[in-house]
């Protein structure tokens, strides 16, 4: 990721620095771009999903190991006024998490203490974007809003559970999102990297059929926490 950011920084800043050396005047790109009422674009990016685990009793915790996934989607941006935009960003997110159960009582095999949860989300956020005043060809902004998702890999209606090595979660989840980013006005398009946090407000766990299941009996809530790094192009 550090190498990726370095390459992007060189790609964006080097032409600007070269142009400024050749001319004392600032070259303002896409001067009327933000005056459009409605714009469309797309984004690609990476994610890191985790779980916040809530317990009924104080016992050894479940360790959650996140992995890096990917995001891809579309952007519809509506200009409310000069410094505020309403954005709808439907997209697809894929990720994987490993759950390691530290309390080994109740398990017959060591392999049963590990569960891999694969998730593919249709992510549907509705966000407000608050921008600062444009400074030459850059414009920082803040993002915030709500979202819902459809987990295509939830196994919510599966008749199997952890006894059959199937960890079940709910299909629909609700979130709030907070983030920040910078708009870079390039010669032909606007490029907007952003970082945002995604926080589930609804429980996602589908308990096992057996109320004494060693996997789910002590979990009172399972809520997603995630970090998105998206690169948006308009």
Is residue 89 over pLDDT 90? Answer: yes
The residue among 213, 107, 110 whose CA lies nearest residue 160 is: 213
Strands (E) located in the chain: 38-55, 62-66, 68-81, 84-88, 91-101, 114-131, 138-151, 172-185, 190-200, 219-233
Over pLDDT 90: what percentage of the chain?
Answer: 68
Count of domains in the chain?
A: 1
Is residue 51 over pLDDT 50? Answer: yes
Confidence at residue 10, expressed as pLDDT on a 0 to 100 scale: 47
Query: Residue 33: which pLDDT band, with cuts at 50, 70 and 90?
Result: confident
- Going 68 to 152 to 115 to 101, the CA torsion angle's sign is positive
The token pair at 105 is 């009582």
Alpha-carbon distances, residue 153 vs 75, 92, 165, 199, 205 (angstroms): 24, 12, 14, 19, 13
10 assigned to some structural domain: no
Is residue 7 over pLDDT 90? Answer: no
Q: How many CB atoms lie within 10 A of CB 167?
A: 21
Entry pTM: 0.82
CA distance 198 to 125: 10
Lowest mean pLDDT among 5-14, 87-96, 101-110, 132-141: 5-14
58 assigned to some structural domain: yes
141 assigned to some structural domain: yes
Structural domain range at position 115? 30-233
76 assigned to some structural domain: yes
35 assigned to some structural domain: yes
Q: Which long-range contacts link 14-17 to residues 24+ away (Cβ below 8 Å)?
A: 16/137
Is residue 138 over pLDDT 90? Answer: yes
117 assigned to some structural domain: yes
74 assigned to some structural domain: yes
Say if strands 84-88 and 68-81 run parallel, antiparallel, or are unpaired.
antiparallel
Confidence at residue 13, expressed as pLDDT on a 0 to 100 scale: 53
210 assigned to some structural domain: yes
CA distance 29 to 233: 15
Confidence at residue 88, expressed as pLDDT on a 0 to 100 scale: 97
Is residue 49 over pLDDT 60? Answer: yes
Q: Which residues on adjacent β-strands are paired with residue 130?
A: 84, 142
CATH assignment at residue 63? 2.40.160.20
Lowest mean pLDDT among 103-117, 144-158, 207-221: 103-117
The token pair at 115 is 């569960």
């Amino acid at each position: 990721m550090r190498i990726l950011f370095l390459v992007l920084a060189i790609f964006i800043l080097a032409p600007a620095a070269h142009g400024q050396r050749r001319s004392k005047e600032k070259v303002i790109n896409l001067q009327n771009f933000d005056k459009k009422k409605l714009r469309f674009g797309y984004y690609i990016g990476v994610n890191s999903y985790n779980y916040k685990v809530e317990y009924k009793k104080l016992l050894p915790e479940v360790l959650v190991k996140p992995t890096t996934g990917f995001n891809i989607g579309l952007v519809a941006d509506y200009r409310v006024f000069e410094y505020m935009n309403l954005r709808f960003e439907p997209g697809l997110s894929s990720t994987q998490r490993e759950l390691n159960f530290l309390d080994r009582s109740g398990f017959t095999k060591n392999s049963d203490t590990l569960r891999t949860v694969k998730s593919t989300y249709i992510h549907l956020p509705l966000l407000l974007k608050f921008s600062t005043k444009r400074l030459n060809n850059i414009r920082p902004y803040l993002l915030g809003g709500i979202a819902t998702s459809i987990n295509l890999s939830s196994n919510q209606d599966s008749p199997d559970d952890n006894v059959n090595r199937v960890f079940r979660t709910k299909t629909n989840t609700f979130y709030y999102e907070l983030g920040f980013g910078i708009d870079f006005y390039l010669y032909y398009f606007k490029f907007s990297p952003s970082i945002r946090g995604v926080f589930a407000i609804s429980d996602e766990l589908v308990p096992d059929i057996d109320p004494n299941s060693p996997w789910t009996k002590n979990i009172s809530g399972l809520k997603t926490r995630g970090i998105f790094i998206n690169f948006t192009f308009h």
